[in-house]
Chain A
Amino acid sequence: MSLSTHQTLVDVVYHEARCIDEQRWDEWLALYTDDAHYWMPLTHGQTDPLLQGSLMYEDKMLLGIRVERLKGRRTFSQEPISRCHHLLQAPSVEMLDAGLGQARLRTAFHYVETRGDEQQLYAGWASHDLRLQGADWRIVLKRVDLVNCDAAFGNIQLFM
């Protein structure tokens, strides 16, 4: 793969995290294809999002509902609002098929979500399945595997 393609793919992952951290929600959603899914499995090594439980398995409409909700005047769980911070390890390109316009990247991360005086730290691995749409790489599937995906959590209100 050319260095420039590699950098382009990696930049999608960095850019996505930055959109979330800066709460540029519409820009963030636009990074996803119309048939995209955002998946947070409930168990290690999970392969089935439909007949096994997950923390999240959402299509673009559901993600859009979340974004609208975050902006809502009667979203009391966002008074005060949550903020978040991604610390990403350099993404690795696990697969690239330039002909088909498909790629997969894997990124280890630490993610902090705060609200008021509380701060929670989560750690895990994100995998991004990307598809070339026109001139741009878009996210078809983002999978977030938490190192403690089976733990009892309090509210997780933003996106990892």
Chain B
Amino acid sequence: MAMPNPSSPADTRRWMRGCEVHRDAFIDPDVFALEMQTVFSHTWVFVGHGSQIPQPGDYVTTTVGDQPVVMVRQWNGGISVLHNRCAHKGVKVAGREQGNTGKFFRCPYHAWTYQLDGAVLAIPLKSGYAHSGLEGTEAALGMAAVGAVQVYRDFVFCRLSQQGESFADFFGDSLSTIDNMVDRSPEGKLEVAGGVLRYMHRCNWKMLVDNQTDTCHPMVAHESSAGTAVKVWKAAPEGTPKPMAVELFAPFVSPYEFFEGMGIRSWPNGHGHTGTADSIHAAYSPVPGYWDQMKAAYGEQRAQQILGEVRHNTIYFPNIMVKGPIQTLRIFKPLAADRTLVESWTFRLVGAPDLLLERTLMYNRLINAPTSVVGHDDLEVYERSQQALHSRGRDWVNVGRLYDPAETLTPTQVVNGTSELQMRNQYRAWAKYLAMGPEVRL
């Protein structure tokens, strides 16, 4: 039995006031430690995708906040998420990033074995525990399951805390972005495909989350990359067909007016997205054959509706971003106050032309790789922030563009695309979960 801590020590006013966030939120290791036990424990955090583990015994190891976990397919087709820690001496049981464990997990240290749901299966030389009171120890409980797991259209989320908000309450209408990405497959099915780009950032994870709905930086920070791409393209001989790479780069340096008109929608609990009316993904060239497949699968009207939704970046608080029209998902894995591992995933729309996956992979390479010039632009400013926020010359970070103190009264709203409303929404959610304090295990 576990309960929220009634004597929560968190005074969120220390970290957020109006449209300002205190610099300690980004640089203080104590805040980071508290985030791991609150924000990443009480919320529903993305773990992985069902297509990674099709068969019973298939597993993926990952982290939820700072917690090592293993996501595993059960015999009955369900998916469990277990703390990846042997009940005996604490060894990480599943060792590979991805694999099949067979009928059970086996610890490499003393060969304690566990059912796929974490229950103890066998302990070598068990007679040695015959009168030891093993059944009264924690070890007898096996590998611990996380508080709750929910699989939504193959996307696997978990809540570490035993008690808390339901999945449906936490995400609400924001699930429409996942719906749209899945619906873009004529078969209504996605597969993780193409490999994951892993990019180490020496900055706080919230800077990345903040950046996803920041529509006033592309024309500035990415002038060097996307701006140069446009310049080089303009110098190409007339009549040269526009390369896919230019089509992907160019919208980044659209004028402010474009981003203003793009729109931003925020939902309760820190979720929200850019691109309600238009987006940088709206004007890609049609992929031959795709429209006919969609029309056949859904009918013309519904297919138009699905493909007409061109949402840019959707933040699922706390730490993923999904792009429906280009089938990518980014995870901002917090490692320390000043260290974040960014994983960029790509999906195949099952039944759709390969060219869509090819475009998705090119986008990921050009924008999200450690070798990406757009990535270089962004990481430079994050790392400069991480350093300069140690300045005592100013204490607060400003997220006040188009701020209205009354905005908190409207949980879901659509506003001007250059508003920092969604950033404030994220920081408010962050402060809310922080204030709950760690779950107390009774």
Contacts and interface: CB of A to CB of B under 8 A. Distances in A.
A56 B224 contact: no
Which size class do A's interface residues fall under?
A: 20 to 34
Given A56-B365, A72-B224, A65 B373 contact: yes
Nearest to A158: B371
B211 to A, nearest CB: 15
Contact of A53 (B202, B361, B373): B361
B207 interface: no
A138 B123 CA distance: 64
A153 B300 CA distance: 44
A51 B358 contact: yes
A61 B199 contact: no
Contacts of A74: 223-224, 227
A84 to B, nearest CB: 13
A53 B196 contact: yes
Nearest to A62: B245
Interface in A31-54: 40, 42-43, 50-54
Contacts of B107: none
A99 interface: no
A64 interface: yes
Interface string B365-406: 110011101011101110000000000000000000000000
Nearest to A43: B195
Given A152-B341, A154-B379, A155-B375, A52 B200 contact: no
A69 interface: yes
A75 interface: yes
A77 interface: yes
Interface stretch (B35-43, B228-236, B284-292): B228-236
Nearest to A76: B380
B198 A152 contact: yes
A116 to B, nearest CB: 11
Q: Which 5 A-B residue pairs are closest in the complex by CB-CB distance?
A: A152-B198, A77-B380, A153-B370, A53-B195, A75-B224
Interface of A: 40, 42-43, 50-57, 59, 61-62, 64-66, 68-69, 72, 74-77, 150-157
